[in-house]
Amino acid sequence: ILNVEQSPQSLHVQEGDSTNFTCSFPSSNFYALHWYRWETAKSPEALFVMTLNGDEKKKGRISATLNTKEGYSYLYIKGSQPEDSATYLCAFSLMNNNAGNMLTFGGGTRLMVKP
Amino acid sequence: DGGITQSPKYLFRKEGQNVTLSCEQNLNHDAMYWYRQDPGQGLRLIYYSQIVNDFQKGDIAEGYSVSREKKESFPLTVTSAQKNPTAFYLCASSVHSGETQYFGPGTRLLVL
């Protein structure tokens, strides 16, 4: 079983603060790294998929970077808003996995933004 | 309206009983997945199916069974052999395995 670690487990910030969290994954045989946002009482929703070392993706105030050589990805939120409150999940898949590139999920970072 | 539906939203299981959780998608996706979430833990893969009439065990398949007779449907049965079934169950699908997954709203299973 692959180990995908996310830190911190939870984070409380004030509205307007910028924040970032980390996803660590095995650096060998990398295929793809996914980020999902999971709001309470809703389904997890895909944010980004990254495949290349050095990839940077951006969606509004949220951006992500990828370092496949050292096995980490950062998710940044600029100027956090209360509607950003959610659990952010990362998921990793291996190349040429006999299981068909299945995703292994981290435990998530729970972000709470206070107005 | 395309998407994934799961039913029921809440399910109660009695001791020794098998229960089946429904998952349906109308996205024409080949791959479907079942995950379990326990408090404070990430999603763990129970079973997955890359194509109709085929499925594979995930990391925690013991005590569960699935079928994939139709492309749209991937029901999960929690058998009496699953000693700790209380959890939140999420179903997902993707165009092909390894690609972005789209999730249903989940089913919470409780033991009476």
pLDDT computed for residue A98 by the predictor: 57
Q: Does A71 touch chain B (CB under 8 A)?
A: no
pLDDT computed for residue A1 by the predictor: 63
Cβ contacts from A onto B, under 8 A: 57
Phi/psi of residue B106, nearest 5 degrees: 95, 155
Measured in angstroms, the CA of B62 and the nearest CA of chain A are apart by 15
From chain B, the residues in CB contact with A25 under 8 A are none
Q: Determine whether the interchain pair B45/A89 forms a contact, defined as Cβ–Cβ distance below 8 Å.
A: no
pLDDT computed for residue B112 by the predictor: 82
pLDDT computed for residue A3 by the predictor: 85
pLDDT computed for residue A73 by the predictor: 97
pLDDT computed for residue A99 by the predictor: 55
Tokens 């989940």 belong to B106
**DSSP collapsed to 3 states, B48-105:** EEEECCEEEECCCCCCEEECCCECCECCEEECCCCCCCCEEEEEEEECCCCCCCEECC
- pLDDT tens-digit profile of A85-112? 999 999 998 876 555 568 899 999 999 9
Q: Determine whether the interchain pair A101/B98 forms a contact, defined as Cβ–Cβ distance below 8 Å.
A: yes
Q: Does A100 touch chain B (CB under 8 A)?
A: yes
Higher per-residue confidence, A48 vs B40 = A48
Q: Determine whether the interchain pair A105/B48 forms a contact, defined as Cβ–Cβ distance below 8 Å.
A: no
**Residue B91 clears pLDDT 80, i.e. is over it:** yes
Q: Does B101 touch chain A (CB under 8 A)?
A: yes
From chain A, the residues in CB contact with B50 under 8 A are 100
Return d(Cα B35, Cα B70) in angstroms, integer: 19
End-to-end CA distance of chain B: 35
pLDDT computed for residue A41 by the predictor: 87
For the four alpha carbons of A22, A23, A27 and A32, in that order, the dihedral sign comes to negative
Q: What is the mean pLDDT of residues A11-23?
A: 96
- pLDDT tens-digit profile of A22-68? 999 998 888 899 999 999 889 999 999 999 999 999 999 999 999 99
